[in-house]
Chain A
Amino acid sequence: MSLPQETWRWVTDPAHWQGIDGIPTRLGEQVHLSLESVAIGALIALPVGIVLGHYGRFGNLAINISNVGRAVPSFGILVIAFQVFGLGDVPIVIALTALAVPPMVTNSYVALREVDPDVKDAARGMGYRELPQLLRVELPLAVPLIMAGIRTSAVQVVATATLAALIAGGGLGRYIVDGLARSDNPRLLAGALLVAALALATELLLAGLQQVLIPRGIRLLRAPSGQRAATLKVA
């Protein structure tokens, strides 16, 4: 039996869908880790990017945070965090959050910078004060790029969460690491394909969400934005 056939056998085996090492459990763990990391990352990155973009100051700071952030090796951060915090979810969430932050900072910064100055002038002219202007005028216009940044982060994080298995963590990476250790190639390939499928699903889901969230007026005005911070593979 060839590897693809054995892998199909492995995936369709009902035994592999039950229990703590079953596909639903591992999938759930991967999603949980990713959600947590992107959420925390967004809580850090979005305010920073939005504020810097709104005031237009320290633009270089935003870009530099992003550049240094992208240079951080996830594997290294994971192991350092493991040596500080030991077993559990904390190390991988730290590593993934570090991964999630840079694209969201860059994109939200650029998104706010790109708001047409005429629109901001008009808002000022209409009597908007600083915060309401930001919230009700600039942010809605910035949503497409911000969402694109979140999407980039999410897809990267979902794929990289496989590293958790290197420090005895769960998630789909478990199939890859265990498959390697046991020379069990169907398990290994199944794990790899499941991660790829999950990453793809995340991309599609968030692209759909983006369409829903963009204010109707802007959606009609612009074609879907193809711009985004270039996707960065780190694992």
Chain B
Amino acid sequence: MGSRVFLDVVDPWINWDWLSTHIPYVLAAVQEHLVLTAIALAGGLVIALPLGIAARRWTNLHLRPAVLTVFGAFYTIPSIALFALLIPYTGLGTLTAEIPLIGYNVLILVRNVLVGLDAVPPDVIDAADGMGYRPWARLIQVELPLALPAIFAGLRVATVSTIGIVTITAVIGLGGLGQLILRGLIESFHTPLVVATALCILLAFFADLLVAGAQRVAVPWSRPA
């Protein structure tokens, strides 16, 4: 493996000795990373789903353009800035990390909820009405299942995106694999940096696979892209 002579100590890109003695440390970081990600995805979904449904139902409120504009604008603000600005108000904990993470996910997911629901063929809606479905039942039993492929697609993008941004929360003292990257930077130490980066990629890859698999199970007729 490529090694760089750094100061008096040879610093290989991965020091397997260090890694083997630090497995609990690394796994703890992975755990924290996963928890932060899961909360962000769940939070995003819990907000995006009702928002998307409401935006389509109550068009007189012009919710759709409002939601897309507000969350769209939020999306363009760099995460470091949001974390830093929130600290005086929401402290140094998970809440500060989750507010921007959830906010970004709401944009991604609500767009896909809207696209998914929009794509339900009018014929199907007519048929459902004809069969006697009332509006809420129609939504839950007919429209949402048909919108699932689009929602899952959004969930996959949100998952990979969140895993990446969680690394940045380390810059303001929060956790996850970003702490290993930060340590690698501050101490000019390769191993935690390379290990954390590789694990992020693996984590994102597996999480993406998991969501795609869940899509296969939930909506077998659709083909995950």
Q: Which A residues are within 8 Å of any B CB, using their own CB?
A: 63, 67-68, 70-77, 79-80, 82-83, 155, 159-160, 162-163, 166-167, 173, 176-177, 179-180, 185, 188-189, 191-193, 195-196, 199-200, 230-235
Contacts and interface: CB of A to CB of B under 8 A. Distances in A.
B27 interface: no
Interface stretch (B18-26, B59-67, B155-163): B155-163
A77 B168 CA distance: 12
9 contacts: A68-B205, A71-B205, A76-B181, A79-B193, A83-B4, A162-B80, A192-B81, A192-B85, A233-B108
A72 B201 contact: yes
Contacts of B164: 71-75, 233-235
B76 A79 contact: no
B112 interface: yes
B76 A67 contact: no
B28 interface: no
A200 B77 CA distance: 10
B171 interface: yes
Contact of A235 (B160, B165, B181, B208): B165
Given A63-B225, A234-B161, A77 B81 contact: no
B202 to A, nearest CB: 8
Contacts of A196: 73, 76-77
Interface in B174-209: 177-178, 181, 184-185, 188, 190, 193-194, 196-197, 200-201, 203-205, 208
Contacts of B177: 73
Contacts of B161: 70, 232-234
A72 B203 CA distance: 10
Contacts of B79: 233, 235
Given A68-B201, A79-B181, A80-B194, A235 B168 contact: yes
A195 B77 contact: yes
Nearest to B74: A196
Contacts of A67: 160, 205, 208
Contacts of A188: 81, 84-85
B215 interface: no
A167 B208 CA distance: 30
B80 A159 contact: no
Interface in B12-35: none
B188 A75 contact: no
B75 interface: yes
B204 A71 contact: yes
A205 B155 CA distance: 29
A71 B160 contact: yes
A40 B205 CA distance: 25
B82 interface: yes
Nearest to A175: B81
Contact of A75 (B167, B201, B203): B167
Contact of A233 (B165, B181, B203): B165
B78 interface: yes
B154 interface: yes
The 10 closest A-B pairs by CB, nearest first: A76-B197, A71-B204, A192-B81, A196-B76, A199-B76, A73-B200, A234-B164, A230-B157, A180-B84, A162-B78
Contacts of B160: 67, 70-71, 232
Contact of A159 (B78, B167, B201, B208): B78
A176 B204 contact: no
Given A230-B153, A235-B78, 10 more contacts: A70-B160, A71-B160, A72-B164, A76-B197, A159-B76, A162-B78, A173-B78, A233-B104, A233-B108, A233-B165
B220 to A, nearest CB: 20
A192 B79 CA distance: 9
B84 A179 contact: yes
A83 B188 contact: yes
A4 B94 CA distance: 25
Given A79-B181, A233-B165, A195 B205 contact: no
A42 to B, nearest CB: 21
Contacts of A80: 193-194, 197
B77 A180 contact: no
Contacts of B4: 83
